[in-house]
Amino acid sequence: MTLTVQTLYGPLGPVDFPEYGPDGALIGCVPAAPLALETPLGRLNAQHSTDDARRPKVHPIEFHPDGSLKSMALEERTVLPTPLGPLPAEFVSFHPDGELRRVFPVYGKLSGYWTEKEEATLNDPLTLETPAGSITARIAGVQFFPGGALKSVTLWPGESVEIETPLGRQKARIGISFHESGALRSFEPAALTPVPTPIGILEAFDPDALGIHGDVCSLEFGPDGEPVALSTPMNTVEAALPDGKPRRFAPTRVPNLCDERVQDVKPLRVRFQGGAALLGEDPAPAFPLDTARFTVGRLLEGLFAPIRYDCGL
């Protein structure tokens, strides 16, 4: 049974499946027919139709607890005004104050009937002017801070771009993210990348990076450009306190998700925080940089082979 619901933007309907929060505020509903909504970006047509392969269901319109628009899928790809200039979108989300948060150029559902390769044919490369330089690639999504500063860019699977970094010009895959000041916060290296750190040069690369988004990648920098975290599949670190025996930290082996007979490399995670080096996974032991001794080693080349397996998904 369809109905009309009341929102900050006026009556909205016809809709199905209205959902309300504990205080009775509307937090979501599903368009049941053609429906246009006045948004901070202008009047937009919400998704109300489906197809059997690419968009098998209608996504709900969602609202923040204060009633402001949180997100909506669009009936058709629509070019929207953004802080980066006009961008095509099939899904958008907003901060509670109404400012644009995320833009997704395509928003199809991958399945056995609709593949990533087919979805990619609908996603033309875009050129974006970022604080790390101009990039051109297929884009999975972009995110903005309140105020409009660019927060992150997530690349389409298989895409890579060259960007300016504190390490010089580097090739990035999966995504890049920024501090609100515009300084580079993180990127996902496309290859083993030497990084000078307080304990020595470490080679950053994460063969296990899933590529869901580029909001926080494995190689991270502080606002001053100094490295604060990285993943290394090649290096070992031996650390010792003045009154203790050395402890050795190294990448490990884990079963491959597609074939348990295959062992993948799980990188060693290294972070720098509060004047200490934190080695390994949480809870990671901390070694003060001013008193501990560190020795960086390197695995044999053959122990790290970034092989990609197709799980058939």
Q: Over the stretch 110-150, which tens digit does the pLDDT of each residue have?
A: 676 677 787 777 789 999 999 999 999 999 999 999 999 99
For residue 26, tell me if it sits in a domain. yes
**pLDDT value of residue 313:** 44
Phi and psi at residue 282, to the nearest 5° = -65, 140
Token pair, residue 309, equals: 């397996």
For residue 55, tell me if it sits in a domain. yes
CA distance 240 to 110: 49
Whole-prediction pTM value? 0.90
For residue 243, tell me if it sits in a domain. no
For residue 84, tell me if it sits in a domain. yes
For residue 297, tell me if it sits in a domain. no
For residue 54, tell me if it sits in a domain. yes
176 neighbors 153 (Cβ within 8 angstroms): yes
Q: Residue holding tokens 């010089």?
A: 168
Q: Is 98 helix (H, G, I), strand (E, B) or coil?
A: coil
- Positive or negative, the Cα torsion across 192, 193, 194, 197? negative
Cβ partners under 8 Å of residue 267, min gap 6: 205, 206, 207, 208, 218, 231, 232, 233, 251
Instruction: Give me the tens of pLDDT residue by residue for the chain, a chain 313 residues long.
Output: 689 999 988 899 999 999 999 999 999 999 999 999 999 999 999 999 988 778 878 999 999 999 999 999 999 999 999 999 999 999 999 999 999 999 999 987 767 667 778 777 778 999 999 999 999 999 999 999 999 999 999 999 899 999 999 999 999 999 999 999 999 999 999 999 999 999 999 999 998 776 556 788 899 999 999 999 999 999 999 999 988 889 999 999 888 777 777 777 899 999 999 999 999 988 999 999 999 999 999 987 655 655 454 554 4
Q: 12 lies in which domain range?
A: 1-124
For residue 153, tell me if it sits in a domain. no
For residue 183, tell me if it sits in a domain. no
Domains: count for the chain: 1
**pLDDT value of residue 311:** 58
Q: Is 116 helix (H, G, I), strand (E, B) or coil?
A: helix
